[in-house]
Amino acid sequence: MKPRRHVALCFVIPIVLATAGQGANVFTATDSLRTLRENHTATLLPNGKVLVVAGGSQFAGFAAESLASAELFDPATGTWSYTGSLGTARDLHTATLLPNGQVLAVGGYREYVFSPLASAELYDPVAGSWSYTGSLANPRYSHTATLLNNGKVLVAGGAVSGIQVSSAELYDPATGTWSPTGSPSIGREGATATLLPNGKVLVEGGYDGGYLVSAELYDPVTGTWSLTGSLHTTHEGATATLLPNGKVLLAGGYYAGSAELYDPATGTWTLTGSLATARVGHSATLLTNGQVLVAGGSTSNLVTLASAELYDPATGNWFPTGSLSTGRYSDTATLLPNGQVLVAAGHFFGDDVGDYGSLASVELYGPAPSFLNPILKPVRSAEGSFQFLFHGNPNSTNYSVRCSSNLAAPLNTWSNLGPATETPSGSGQFQFTDHQAPNNPRRFYRVCWP
């Protein structure tokens, strides 16, 4: 616990630490996306920013619309901004970070025109723009895409107009072209694909008109597929996570609360601890401590979930952790360089008939920030710009500012305005900007860390 200290605004105001569960892992709200979206992709770029691409957008009572827009999240400021748009709107696509730092968006589906896509595009983070590259031989959506150790991208399976695709293709970034490779024995959509430490790709589960328990291995050296051990139960819509010990954790899926482990050494699956809540369309993230965070999703009767669970590979058990502020599925979860997890957008079903749609809200998972009591009268230095001063020497400069129009609102619903900048360094005087302040005369602020 940090020592108590005083904060000065126009005058010195005593500030004491609020009890916010310091040290516990919780979800806290941060800046929302500029566009409602679901079935999008999220890619951590080498510069630490997160690129969210396309997806679908839906309001209750209206047909879903495929998106061409893309957005960037900057962890340094906690804010989103638009970047270049795709040439073709798409959802149910894949996005893969290439060794050269570009991002490859492949295939997908375009609503309204009911069109499966074969096109592919490259995002250049330096220029912030997209350009077309070679197209797939076969259009597909709900497929898998895996970056191989040789730098090529394996795209497998998927569907076209409800018919599962059994082919696979390789993208070569050096030439920008696709070539066929060995075909899986079964066409499957909604499967998972995991690059194993030995360089092979494990593709498991999915749907081919029925829920599948089979799994296959792709060998990039020979370009061939072979069946491996079968799952104990179906896991279409599950998540697959490569653990530090080289095993693969498959969790949840339609009608499944169970979880299984694949051992590449034996080619077999074994049951491990079951989730407390069966879920599909959830996210799974390997944390820096080796545990796996599973969050959100929905039940088989379309109840959107806000709960989250942690899997401990050492014990094979699940235990609860902090819940999302907003239940969601078909969202994305991205591990940031600072160890936090960025959970973005998705879909929700409300309690009332007709209450559903896409989300723009975003949350960060990590240690609960410690809050100072509200700053009720910050010094306004310019329109939307404010200052506060620590009386004496602050023992940290890693502060951020959160705001709300409701002083009594739960702490995890306060919006994150990003870091406060100490100017000049070592002065104890910090500045922050609230771009919405001119339009919202009633605003309250809190300082928090980390």
Q: Identify the top-confidence range among 245-254, 362-371, 428-437.
A: 245-254
- Here the tokens at position 263 are 């051992």
All domains of the chain in start order, with CATH = 5-22+369-449 (no CATH), 25-367 (2.120.10.80)
SS3 438: helix
For residue 222, the model assigns a pLDDT of 97
| Bridge partners for 153 per DSSP | 147, 171
Q: pTM of the prediction?
A: 0.82
Confidence of residue 113 (pLDDT cuts 50, 70, 90): low
For residue 2, the model assigns a pLDDT of 32
pLDDT at 362 over 90: yes
For residue 411, the model assigns a pLDDT of 76
Alpha carbons 96 and 170: distance in angstroms, whole number = 13
Write the single-letter amino acid at 263: D
CB 213 within 8 A of CB 225: no
CB 56 within 8 A of CB 109: no
pLDDT at 20 over 50: no
| Bridge partners for 347 per DSSP | 329, 358
The residue with tokens 């997160």 is: 50
Q: What is the pLDDT of residues 181-199, one digit of tens each?
A: 999 999 999 999 999 999 9
Q: What is the mean pLDDT of the chain?
A: 87
For residue 363, the model assigns a pLDDT of 95
Please give the share of the chain, as a percent, with pLDDT higher than 90: 63
Mean pLDDT of 78-82: 93
